[in-house]
Structure 1
Amino acid sequence: MMALRAGLLGVGMMGRHHARVLRELDGVDLVAIADPGGDPHGVAGDLKVLPDIDALIEAGIDLAVVAVPTRFHEDAALKLAAAGVHTLVEKPIAHSLEAGQRMVDAFASAGLVGAVGHVERFNPALQQLRMRLEAGDIGEVYQIATRRQSNFPARIADVGVAKDLASHDIDLTAWVARSDYSQVFAQTMFKSGREYEDMIAITGRLETGVIVNHIVNWLSPMKERLTVVSGEKGAYVADTSTGDLTFYANGTIPHEWESVSSFRGVSEGDVTRFSFAKREPLRVEHEAFRDAVLGKPTHLVTMQQGQQTLRVVEAALESARNSESIRLV
């Protein structure tokens, strides 16, 4: 079978990684790259850097990856849908819900694969976590809390931390819990002199009743990417920076020290750090995209799912503006 012809729009900080993985992917040939800003990281190799999405489409491609700033997603995606090109756009799906819905509708009408690059779903720690939650290893799930903190990225200029980073946590939380959000409340801060927020704290509930909390900012000198799931039998901690998953079990041995027992609520049990294969999430995501184009079942994030994540993000931002809780169902 002939390899799928792939095109890449955008070879900036994220696009350069897409270029690398596309070149290494079985069954796919990277045949065209476009970026109006040129090739700052020198990833084009022997490919000519095309000026825009129209030139990319003219190269005759079967699938495309869109890794340009969010405000350009809609224009590129709608042109690709009209040209019959299966497309993966980086998260978030679009700059607005209206734009995202137009993208969803265009790919559905054309019968094409339209996907969003919520790459955390392909992190080995979160895949293991989802599998173990589904198996009931922790019993009833009570709370899912995430922390995603780092310093300010100069590359992000068109959205705030909610759409750029919190969208990861919202998507992965709904995915590992297999439940949509029912309610959110959020607070934001603006400390970097831009029009967009650089810190957001979100709390809410899923439709299953699970409490969720997200701490996300660009104002930290340390990098942190943690997901903590607390439940009936203990707590899982997934570190997506390293791909590690650790389980802290509730103890079965009672404390003889009464004040310690009263303070801690549940006793400390065994701590297990799981061992499993750790593949690069971006590579696994691209394999899922390729397989979806070939008609195989995958866990690819559809545009409809990406739109639902954006809906929760927009609700959180509305909550922060109005200082009120927003119901989503």
Structure 2
Amino acid sequence: MTASLRAAVIGYGAMGRNHARVLAGLGGVDLVAIVRPSGDPGSAPAPVVGSVAEALSYGLDLAVIAAPTSTHLTLGRELADAGVPALIEKPLAGTATEARELAETFDSRGLLGCVGHIERYNPATRALRQRLADGEVGDLFSVASRRIGPFPNRISDVGVVLDLATHDLHLTAWLTGRPFAELSARSSRPGGREHEDLVTIAGRLADGTVTSHLVSWLSPLKERCTVITGTNGAYVADTLTGRLTRHGEGGERTELETDRLEPLAVELEAFRAAVAGEGTDVVTLAEGARVVAAAEAVLEAARTGRSVTV
């Protein structure tokens, strides 16, 4: 019987707790350490240590970085230097330069690194991607998304573009298989915080397809949906419910089949499989770096009021 892979979670905030929960119950994985400098919260599913160096003493086979974005480069380097494959929560880094450095660091060592863009593993988006690949949508007209909700108190080091819009920038490119060519944006921060609270983004993909994205954490209404419109109708992926719906020309509405698997469990199983040499369904560091570069283009466009070539 193959031995379980020894895993650590670095960071034990809201996302880190979820990673630890899933890894603790994931087949083929043994969660052996959680890195939390402030100490054991008393309910962790694995030994809590104060540093990556202490976690490395457990003989890690893989690690998840769920610490603040500003720490990703330093933590990623530490794991790469130790030869430990890593899944780094999105955004990959706070700047495109740091994101590219992380990608190059892991690549130069021939080491697996990937990014936790969890919406890629949602039942609705996976089903939509398959229908697009099968040609069911027909010729593509547009991609539109809405990602709105109340302010998350856990966020302090980035604005809504890096925290939330990176989901939509990644999903749009992944679903369509087409990179962004141009982006324009308008943003605001009526909450008075250092970073933007709301952004509207207009994009153009490499083939000319137009996109639009509303992203905000100023709304009491929580909504997470992506709408792809083509010659055969409009397909709505609701990632809050995992449902995919098709709207036809005659007004008919059809709920399409999706699974009901937890996205984080699917993502972490894909990571485990890739580390074990059993799969490749991960968001690569190169993909993650392109998302950060697109986010930087959005921020520049919002700052200057001009469209930015990606």
Q: Which amino acid aligns with 1:18?
A: H
Q: Which amino acid aligns with 1:238?
A: A
Where do residues 162-311 of structure 1 align in structure 2 (5 Å cutoff)? 162-251=161-250, 268=251, 270-311=252-293
Q: 1:79-123 CA distances to partner (integer Å, 9 max, x unpaired)?
A: 000000000010000011111111101100111110000010000
Asked whether the 8 Å contact 2:237–2:245 carries over to 1, the reply is yes
Q: Which amino acid aligns with 1:219?
A: L
Q: Which amino acid aligns with 2:3?
A: M
More displaced, 187-196 or 219-228? Answer: 187-196
- Equivalent residue for 1:2? 3
Q: CA deviation at 1:298?
A: 2.5
Q: CA deviation at 1:296?
A: 2.4
- Equivalent residue for 2:44? 44
- Equivalent residue for 1:137? 136
Q: CA deviation at 1:247?
A: 0.2
Corresponding residue SS for 1:92? coil
CA distance in 1, matches of 2:18, 2:64: 11
Gap regions ≥5 residues in structure 2:
none
Q: CA deviation at 1:60?
A: 1.6
Change (3 A) 1:317 1:106: same
Corresponding residue SS for 1:288? helix
CA distance in 1, matches of 2:85, 2:4: 14
Q: 1:56-99 CA distances to partner (integer Å, 9 max, x unpaired)?
A: 22222010000001000110000000000000010000011111
Asked whether the 8 Å contact 1:11–1:43 carries over to 2, the reply is no
Corresponding residue SS for 2:156? coil
Asked whether the 8 Å contact 2:244–2:258 carries over to 1, the reply is no
Deviation >4 Å, runs of 4+: none
Q: Which amino acid aligns with 2:262?
A: E
CA distance in 2, matches of 1:106, 1:37: 28
Q: TM-score, normalised by structure 1?
A: 0.92
Q: Which amino acid aligns with 2:180?
A: Y
CA distance in 2, matches of 1:58, 1:101: 28
Q: CA deviation at 1:274?
A: 1.3
- Equivalent residue for 1:14? 15
More displaced, 88-97 or 273-282? Answer: 273-282
Asked whether the 8 Å contact 1:19–1:43 carries over to 2, the reply is no
Asked whether the 8 Å contact 2:242–2:258 carries over to 1, the reply is no
Q: CA deviation at 1:150?
A: 0.5
Q: CA deviation at 1:193?
A: 1.8
Change (3 A) 1:209 1:39: farther
Corresponding residue SS for 1:250? coil
Where do residues 315-326 of structure 1 align in structure 2 (5 Å cutoff)? 315-326=297-308
Q: 1:29-57 CA distances to partner (integer Å, 9 max, x unpaired)?
A: 000111113345x4424x33211222222
Q: Which amino acid aligns with 1:310?
A: V
Q: Which amino acid aligns with 2:17?
A: R
Asked whether the 8 Å contact 1:63–1:87 carries over to 2, the reply is yes
Q: TM-score, normalised by structure 2?
A: 0.97
Q: CA deviation at 1:293?
A: 0.5
State how many pairs are aligned: 309
- Equivalent residue for 2:159? 160
Q: CA deviation at 1:233?
A: 1.6
CA distance in 1, matches of 2:258, 2:118: 19
Structure 1 vs Structure 2 CA RMSD: 1.1
CA distance in 2, matches of 1:321, 1:57: 42
Corresponding residue SS for 1:144? strand
More displaced, 143-152 or 55-64? Answer: 55-64
Q: 1:252-311 CA distances to partner (integer Å, 9 max, x unpaired)?
A: xxxxxxxxxxxxxxxx3x211013321000000001100110112322001100000111
Gap regions ≥5 residues in structure 1:
252-267
Where do residues 10-89 of structure 1 align in structure 2 (5 Å cutoff)? 10-40=11-41, 42-45=42-45, 47-89=46-88
- Equivalent residue for 1:118? 117
- Equivalent residue for 2:149? 150
Q: Which amino acid aligns with 1:306?
A: G
CA distance in 2, matches of 1:77, 1:222: 35
CA distance in 2, matches of 1:75, 1:131: 37
Corresponding residue SS for 1:307? helix
Share of identical aligned residues, percent?
Answer: 47
Q: CA deviation at 1:204?
A: 0.9
Corresponding residue SS for 2:175? helix
Change (3 A) 1:43 1:90: farther
Corresponding residue SS for 1:36? coil
Asked whether the 8 Å contact 2:32–2:47 carries over to 1, the reply is no
Asked whether the 8 Å contact 2:142–2:228 carries over to 1, the reply is yes
